[in-house]
């Protein structure tokens, strides 16, 4: 007998249908070709510290570090009945199929159940990889079962991540909460491996904005006249007094002097460079890219986009939503005619877009070597009833469908021109770009609101990228028809929006201080995963560390106090980004989970040692103990609020509470 264990009931029902359908039983479906049962996400959870030893129920620095050995799980209270169903089926099974979602967590949440039931490695176990829930995708996957052992790296990576989160979360939260209470703070300081540096991005950005000093700079522009037309050119920076490291002129008099010298000199074309180029079709979406674009285009939060994509997936209209991959397997090309035919009959917004497709084209997105456990998010072969979808589902489906349609359009073609003009000692530069053929870009030009989507890197500069330059040749003489100085002021960095914060998490190498590490992390997938980033952003809001005002994140007063308590090593993303790199090494088999765990334990001891030495400034208006001088903390007892010394138990001073202030000194007997 073969038992299929799905990640959740909806997935189990789709698999059962693919197996020929069957009869529903208690917690399972019995089909002619096997029994399908399911979890409810993680039905096991890690022991909490007090589960290992009751003394850990009280938070004390002297108990740290808490490092479980061995690590243990327990069945969630709301999943005990289903766990019993799975246990009975697994005990009698001849073969087992792991049907978790095709990612780290999906691999782990089934494997950890099999490990708990002592069958992992003792019975034949296979892996089902489902990219979509439509019947064709399910049938294809059922006919292509893999060996579960092929995904040990995926499981180990998820397990390493889970244990690292436990060690950092429980130990450092306890350490910094206890230290903060000694200083007079009342809040629980919740430290998270990804949560804390994500909050740090927001908080440090706010500090940059608060301390920003604007700089005024001056840029000379000259319009040169050529027989074939005018050329507006920008001064090319060179090393000289009054020019900063960014090539900006900081003294208006210097800019005036450059203009005065230029108009008095003979000018000629120093060089002409032309280059034909193409912009290849954008890749189909991975989840983060979709969340970013949907945020820019419609203002949706990352969690809203994930929820909408999960709904579309369960309606069998799009493929697996938590994908971190932008590529497609070459076998998927066989489904393209059916998918595009369905899109062509939806009047808005796809009918016109599909008119220009060429099925003979094969974009760079089809690359078997780049596809891992899952592929990019695309429409399935199921034709949607578009009018029945919610607004957010329609909009997310539209983004996904347009990106897929783009794969069957030719590249955009353009010609870029760079002209350098010499006027005495000074050089002026003009850049131009002429579109020769819009290609796939025409899909996005039909809707002007799509213009803000990050579908390509911009060519040239903001001032002159669209300039149409005349035909000129090296050595041609030009005259000056106009000259001006454009005054600019540097601006502080923008506060994060939900979309740009998610993008920063994904491109974390841009935000680490260590330049060598930044270069190494360029290929890293960022901090968090496609599935967890939206939830992490929601968490730092729910815990009151940041607030969303006018679609921008700001740290709260609680968040600022949090920033004052924690060291830069935890607030900044460098350390967490390194861990994410280690998880990838584990997944790829280049690092063992035991070696990683040993590294983490050593690191934890070091972080705790540093925390014990860190000076935590007391909060404003702190009340000190009249007996020992340590901060007093407001506590709630059975008779209401009172104030107790943070030096307890060595100092047992208490005071009554009156309108939130301590008074009437007394001592406990």
What is the per-residue pLDDT across 80-138, written as a single tens digit (0 to 9) for each? 999 999 999 999 999 999 999 888 899 999 999 999 999 998 999 999 999 888 888 99
**At residue 566, does pLDDT exceed 70?**
yes
Instruction: Read off the tokens for 634.
Output: 């407001």
Measuring CA to CA, which residue among 402, 323, 321, 317 is closest to residue 370?
323
pLDDT tier for residue 373 given thresholds of 50, 70 and 90: confident
pLDDT, mean of residues 327-337: 93
Q: What are phi and psi of 438, to 5 degrees?
A: -70, -30
Superfamily (CATH) of domain 216-280+412-489: Topoisomerase I, domain 3 (2.70.20.10)
What pLDDT score was predicted for residue 463?
47
Higher-confidence position of 566 and 523: 566
* Cβ neighbours around 491 below 10 Å, total: 10
Strand 412-423 with 426-437, pairing: antiparallel
Distance CA 339, CA 586 (A): 37
Alpha-carbon distance of 481 to 229, in angstroms, equals 11
Burial class (CB in 10 A: 0-12, 13-18, 19+), 254: middle
The dotted CATH code for 287-408 is 1.10.290.10
Rounded mean pLDDT, 595-619 = 90
Task: Tell me if the pTM is above 0.75.
Answer: yes
Q: 181-210+514-613 falls under which CATH superfamily?
A: Topoisomerase I, domain 2 (1.10.460.10)
Sequence-separated contacts (24+) of 19-28 with Cβ below 8 Å: 19/142, 26/85, 27/81, 27/82, 27/85, 27/86, 28/85, 28/89
Tokens found for residue 184 = 């007079």
How far from chain centre, in Å, is Cα 403? 20
150-159, 266-275, 290-299, 350-359: least confident range: 350-359
**For position 356, what pLDDT does the model report?**
86
Residue 238: its H or E element? none
- Say what percent of the chain tops pLDDT 70: 96
| 444 touches 437 (CB < 8 A) | no
Q: Hey, what's the torsion of the CAs at 521, 541, 326, 147, to 10 degrees?
A: 90
Q: What are 553's strand-pairing partners?
A: 548
Mention every residue, 6+ apart, whose C-beta is less than 8 A from residue 285: 293, 326, 376, 377, 399, 400, 403
pLDDT band for position 587 (50/70/90)? very high
Contacts of 343 (CB under 8 A, 6+ apart): 350, 353, 354, 379, 401, 405
| The pLDDT value given to residue 347 | 64
Helices (H) and strands (E) in the chain, counts: 21, 21
Mean pLDDT of the region 213-217: 96
Encoding tokens for residue 369?
Answer: 């070597």
CATH number of 2-144: 3.40.50.140
Q: Could you state, in order of their start, the residue ranges of all structural domains in the chain?
A: 2-144, 181-210+514-613, 216-280+412-489, 287-408, 632-667
What average pLDDT score do residues 142-162 get? Answer: 95
Backbone phi and psi for residue 216, each to the nearest 5 degrees, phi listed first:
-95, 135
Residue 249 region by backbone torsions, left for phi larger than 0, else alpha for psi between -120 and 50, else beta: beta
- First CA to last CA across the chain, in angstroms? 70
Average pLDDT over residues 15-44: 95
Which are the catalytic amino acids? 320
Give the pairing of strands 632-637 and 640-645.
Answer: antiparallel
Closest CA to 99 of 34, 190, 186, 183: 34
Indicate whether 181 pLDDT > 90: no
Q: Is 86 helix (H, G, I), strand (E, B) or coil?
A: helix
Rounded average pLDDT over 581-603: 93
Q: Residues of the chain with pLDDT > 90: what percent?
A: 73
Mean pLDDT, the chain, as a whole number? 91
pLDDT at site 452: 62
> Which of helix, strand or coil describes residue 32?
coil
Tokens of 438: 């819009």
Give the DSSP letter of residue 81: H
Phi, psi of 161, rounded to the nearest 5 degrees: -60, -45
Q: How many residues does the chain have?
A: 669
Residue listed under structure tokens 């766990």: 83
Is a pLDDT exceeding 90 seen at residue 593? Answer: yes
**Per-residue pLDDT tens over the stretch 445-485:** 877 677 667 544 443 344 455 688 999 999 999 999 999 99
Residue 247 has pLDDT above 80, yes or no: yes
pLDDT tens by residue, 512-552:
888 878 877 777 778 988 889 999 999 999 999 999 999 99
pLDDT of residue 467: 81
Residue with tokens 């920076």, as numbered in its chain: 237
Question: Which residues touch 406 (CB under 8 Å, ≥6 apart)?
Answer: 281, 282, 363, 440, 443
Query: Tens of pLDDT along 295-317?
Result: 999 999 999 999 999 999 999 99
Look at residue 669 and tell me whether its pLDDT is greater than 50: no
């Amino acid at each position: 007998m073969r038992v299929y264990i799905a990640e959740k009931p909806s997935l189990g029902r789709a698999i059962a249908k693919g197996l020929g359908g069957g009869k529903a039983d208690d917690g399972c479906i019995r089909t002619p070709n096997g029994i399908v049962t399911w979890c409810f996400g993680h039905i096991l959870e890690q022991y909490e510290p007090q589960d290992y030893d009751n003394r850990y129920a009280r938070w004390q620095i002297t108990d740290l570090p808490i490092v479980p050995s061995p690590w243990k799980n327990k069945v969630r209270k709301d999943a005990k009945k289903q766990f019993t169903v799975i246990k009975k089926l697994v005990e009698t099974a001849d073969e087992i199929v792991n049907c978790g979602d095709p990612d780290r967590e999906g691999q782990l949440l089934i494997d950890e159940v099999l490990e708990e039931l002592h069958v992992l490695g003792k019975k034949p176990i296979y892996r089902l990889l489902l990219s979509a829930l439509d019947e064709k995708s399910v049938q294809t996957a059922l006919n292509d079962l893999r060996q579960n052992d092929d995904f040990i790296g995926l499981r180990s990576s998820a397990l390493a991540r889970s244990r690292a989160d436990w060690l950092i979360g429980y130990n450092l939260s306890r350490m910094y909460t206890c230290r903060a209470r000694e200083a007079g703070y009342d809040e629980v300081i919740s430290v998270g491996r990804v949560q804390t540096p994500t909050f740090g991005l927001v908080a440090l950005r706010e500090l940059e904005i608060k301390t920003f000093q604007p700089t005024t700079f001056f840029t000379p522009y000259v319009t040169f006249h050529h027989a074939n037309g005018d050329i507006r050119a920008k001064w090319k920076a060179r090393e000289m007094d009054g020019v900063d490291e960014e090539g900006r002129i900081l003294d208006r008099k210097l800019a005036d002097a450059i203009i005065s010298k230029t108009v008095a000199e003979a000018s000629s074309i120093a060089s002409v460079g032309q280059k034909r180029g193409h912009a290849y079709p954008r890749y189909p979406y991975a989840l983060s890219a979709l969340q970013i674009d949907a945020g820019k285009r419609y203002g949706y939060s990352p969690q809203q986009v994930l929820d909408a994509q999960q709904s579309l997936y369960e309606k069998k209209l799009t493929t697996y939503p938590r994908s971190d991959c932008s590529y497609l397997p070459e076998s998927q090309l066989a489904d393209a005619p059916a998918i595009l035919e369905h899109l062509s009959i939806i009047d808005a917004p796809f009918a016109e877009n599909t008119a220009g497709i060429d099925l003979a084209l094969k974009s760079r997105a089809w690359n078997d070597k780049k596809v891992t456990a899952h592929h990019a998010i695309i429409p399935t072969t199921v034709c949607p009833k578009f009018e029945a979808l919610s607004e957010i589902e329609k909009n997310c489906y539209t983004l996904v469908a347009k990106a897929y349609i783009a794969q069957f359009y030719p590249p955009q073609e353009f010609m870029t021109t760079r002209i350098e003009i010499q006027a005495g000692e000074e050089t002026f530069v003009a850049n131009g770009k002429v579109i020769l053929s819009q290609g796939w870009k025409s899909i996005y030009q039909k809707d002007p609101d799509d213009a803000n989507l990050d579908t390509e890197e911009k060519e040239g500069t903001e001032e002159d990228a669209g300039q149409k330059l005349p035909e000129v040749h090296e050595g041609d003489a030009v005259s000056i028809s106009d000259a001006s100085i454009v005054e600019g002021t540097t601006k502080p960095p923008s506060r994060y929006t939900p979309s740009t914060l998610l993008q920063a998490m994904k491109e974390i190498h841009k935000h680490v201080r260590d330049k060598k590490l930044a270069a190494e992390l360029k290929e890293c997938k960022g901090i968090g995963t496609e599935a967890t980033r939206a939830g992490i952003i929601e968490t730092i809001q729910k815990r009151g560390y940041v607030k969303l005002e006018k679609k921008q994140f700001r740290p709260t007063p609680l968040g600022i106090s949090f920033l004052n308590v924690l060291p830069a090593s935890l607030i900044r993303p460098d350390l967490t980004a390194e861990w994410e790199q280690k998880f990838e090494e584990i997944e790829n088999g280049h690092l063992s989970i035991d070696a990683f765990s040993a590294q983490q334990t050593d690191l934890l001891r070091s972080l705790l040692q540093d925390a014990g030495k860190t000076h935590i400034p007391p909060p404003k208006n702190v009340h000190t103990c009249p007996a020992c001088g340590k901060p007093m903390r407001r506590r709630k007892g059975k008779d209401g609020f009172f104030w107790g010394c943070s030096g307890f138990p060595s100092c047992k001073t208490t005071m009554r509470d009156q309108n939130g202030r301590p008074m009437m000194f007394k001592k406990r007997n």
